[in-house]
Structures are given as C-alpha cells and as structure tokens.
Amino acid sequence: MTNPDTETAAPSALPPEEVDRLTDDIIAALKTVYDPEIPSDIYELGLIYRIDIDDSRNVAIDMTLTAPGCPVAGEMPGWVENAVGAVAGVGDVKVRMVFDPPWSQDMMSEEAQVALNMY
C-alpha cells in the first residue's frame, strides 16, 4: 500500500494472491473518489485509515474527512461504498467514519503533496 498509515487486516483464509488482487483493486477504486474541495483522491489524501477484507470478501473501511464539518460528510461514505462495491469479487461494503486520529496534511502521500504543490 502506498499509504503507510493505513492499517492492514489480520491474515485471511483467502489465498494471499486473492487478497492482494482485491486490495489492489479496492485501492484503485478508492483512487476514483475525490474530495470535491481538494483536487486529489481520498486514498492519496490519507483519508482511508483501514481496509479489512473478511473471508467472505466483505469489506470494512474506516475513513475520515479533512475536517469534521466537511460539506460532503453525509455523502462521501456512499461514494466510497459504491466505488468499492463495484470491484469484482467484493461482497458487502461497510464504511465507518472516524475522526481519531484527526486528519492532517502529514497523512497525504507524496503524490498528493505534489498534485497540491505542497512538496
């Protein structure tokens, strides 16, 4: 994963290559979801804290927002569920909004920092 602050799940009964493929495809799907106020995707911004794939291929995601009062706070979890739910092989998707730890610009990838001229 490119985001070192993102937690990884415990070992799965799924074959490792399938977990790797699903993880890569989920990350690719997350990279299609953009914060409407910042021209970078939510994965590179560091808004995804945890991706957990269970043995039934259901996905649980913990994410945050750049600010608790973000105008799309009610909509963004649905965007994430829709994007990840479209990944081949994924079962149910549940997104949980968390605010601990609070997001900071230090959580952004180098790619996001370059895109936002912060590097």
Looking at the 3D structure of the chain, how many domains does it have? Answer: 1
Q: What is the pLDDT of residue 117?
A: 79
Q: What is the pLDDT of residue 118?
A: 72
Q: What is the pLDDT of residue 11?
A: 62
Q: What is the pLDDT of residue 3?
A: 47
CA distance 54 to 73: 26
In a domain, 115, yes or no: no
Give the H/E segment covering residue 93. strand 93-97
In a domain, 90, yes or no: yes
Residue indicated by tokens 């997104």: 95
Query: Chunked in runs of 10, what are the mean pLDDT values of the chain (119 residues)?
Result: 48 86 98 89 96 96 90 91 97 96 92 80
| C-alpha torsion sign, points 37, 39, 42, 47 | negative
In a domain, 117, yes or no: no
In a domain, 28, yes or no: yes
In a domain, 69, yes or no: yes
Q: What is the pLDDT of residue 116?
A: 81
Residue range of the domain that includes 57 = 16-105
In a domain, 119, yes or no: no
Q: What is the pLDDT of residue 2?
A: 41
Whichever domain contains 83, its CATH number is: 3.30.300.130
Q: pTM value? A: 0.84
